[in-house]
Amino acid sequence: MTLPNTLNASTIAAQAGGVVDTPSGGVVPPLQPSTTFVRDEDYALVNPDNIYSRDNSDIVRIAEDVLARLEGAEEALLFPSGMAAIAALFRTLPNGATIVVQSGIYWGTTKWLRDFSARRQITLHEVDASDPEALQAACASHTPAIVFIETPSNPWLKTVDIAHAARCAHSAGGLLAVDSTAATPVLQRPLEHGADIVMHSATKAINGHSDVLAGVLATSAPAARIWTDIKADRHDAGAVIGPFEAWLLLRGMRTLPLRVERMCRTTQTIADYLSQHPKVADVYYPGLASHPGHAIAARQMQGGFGCLFSFLVKGGAREALAVVGKLKLFHRATSLGGVESLVEHRHTIEPHTGIPDSLIRVSVGIEDVNDLIADLAQALE
């Protein structure tokens, strides 16, 4: 039985969209690892939906259906990583196209887009999309085929007005794609604000357990040329997710609303605490009233402001690294959105990208908030 879309996201997620294992009666959707599927004596497919697992997998379709429902989309496509999803989106462009991309976003995206644009003679314009006038001017003067934004951004936590960005892109004849990884579909649904395509690194909070690589694209216009091109590219280039990874991802999504609720509440408390700490110079978190993008985030995010934030330690690299080195509960590791809290000295990871050497990026998990604050307190002292 498929659950109706009138139900709330937490219900759809918890029940995996209403899918059960019909043959056994199990309440957990089954995993079928087969790469190929049998035909009968007349060479007709036993299951018309399944020919070969590169593009046919029941568990992948189930996970995609749940993601589409959570996102308020008509269709979603899974990829083996977030970057594979981004690559599939931009590979639809012809040589010589023009794109406008938000500056200061996840460095992996920026680096790949710069290299890709150079190889394909694509004109890339980077702009601070959190500045509405700058974004409008860039779209008007460059008429991009795709405008790509990330909100909240990583690691600066800048907030972009999605509805405004959509108007800018559409008035220039282009499409708006939004990386909504830090928000998850629980907190933000860009398609409802006018975006054409939404992207997530599902490796992060959507999976939530730091054990699956996955990416997703979703749209409300599955008949659009760009979407059919993306689907063809995924099939032909083989950028597919495996059935076991899809099964794990679906299992992680069943607790997504609960995890996000807890993580947002804890992150807000920690951000409030650090914003008053004498050894902290600044805190970047859209949940703080002092954040430049707070009003926009409050308008387009529901239920919280995410688990990701950054803060500046007073001093420089030595002081920041000392804090990171003394933390006991926060794992010093890359990524975000898992049930365990993580911390990064971002300048060490990306030394040539303009990240201040006093910046510490934090992903808050589901641990007790008082334990996490106590750990930060002892590290800062």
Catalytically annotated residue among 65, 69, 106, 158: 106
The set of residues, in sequence order, having a beta carbon less than 8 Å from that of 15 and lying 6+ positions away, is: 3, 254
CB 337 within 8 A of CB 362: no
The catalytic residue among 179, 196, 357, 375 is 179
Q: How confident is the model at residue 1 (pLDDT cuts 50, 70, 90)?
A: low
Tens of pLDDT, residue by residue over 221-239, are: 999 999 999 999 999 999 9
For the segment 150-168, the average pLDDT, to the nearest whole number, is 98
- Length of the chain equals 381
Residue 8 and residue 261: Cα distance in Å, rounded? 14
Q: What percent of the chain has pLDDT over 70?
A: 100
Q: Is CATH 3.40.640.10 the right assignment for the domain spanning 9-253?
A: yes
* Residue 272: per-residue pLDDT: 98
273: burial class by Cβ within 10 Å (0-12, 13-18, 19+)? middle
How is domain 256-380 classified at the CATH fold level? Aspartate Aminotransferase, domain 1 (3.90.1150)
- Confidence band, pLDDT 50/70/90 cuts, at residue 351: confident
Map out the domains of the chain as residue ranges: 9-253, 256-380
52 carries an active-site annotation: no
| 51-97: pLDDT as tens digits | 888 888 999 999 999 999 999 999 999 999 999 999 999 999 999 99
**Predicted pLDDT at 18:** 86
The string of DSSP codes covering 205-232 is: TTT-SS----EEEEES-TTSHHHHHHHH
179 confidence band (pLDDT: 50, 70, 90):
very high
Write down the catalytic residue from 158, 189, 204, 251. Answer: 204
pLDDT reported for residue 304: 98
Please, which pLDDT band fits residue 240 given cuts at 50, 70 and 90?
very high
Mean local confidence (pLDDT), 205-212: 98
CA distances from 78 to 34, 57, 82, 85, 368 (A): 18, 11, 9, 8, 33
Strands of the 359-363 sheet, one edge to the other: 280-284, 308-313, 359-363, 342-345, 331-332
Least Cα distance to 99 among 160, 164, 152, 174 occurs for 174
Name which of 5-19, 108-122, 166-180, 188-202 the model is least confident about.
5-19
Q: Do 109 and 80 form a contact (C-beta atoms < 8 A)? A: no
Catalytic residue among 54, 61, 114, 120: 54
Q: Quick check: 350 pLDDT over 90? A: no
Average pLDDT over all residues of the chain = 96
Which residue did the predictor score with more confidence, 282 or 354? Answer: 282
Yes or no: say if 63 and 115 are a contact pair by the CB < 8 Å rule. Answer: no
Sign of the dihedral defined by the CA atoms of residues 218, 221, 227, 231, in that order? positive
Instruction: State whether residue 156 is helix, strand or coil.
Output: coil
Give the single-character DSSP code of 21: B
Angstrom distance (rounded) from CA 302 to CA 187: 5
> Dihedrals φ, ψ of 130, to 5°?
-75, -10
Active-site residue flag, 179: yes
Q: What string of DSSP letters covers 42-96?
A: TS-BSSTT-SBTTT--HHHHHHHHHHHHHHT-SEEEEESSHHHHHHHHHTTSPTT
- The CA distance from 305 to 188, in Å, is 9
Cα–Cα distance, 167 to 173 (Å, whole number): 10
CA 135 to chain CA centroid, Å, is 21
Residue 106 annotated to the active site: yes
* Contact assessment for residue 81 and residue 214, using Cβ atoms and an 8 Å cutoff: yes
CA dist., res. 199 & res. 196, Å (int): 10
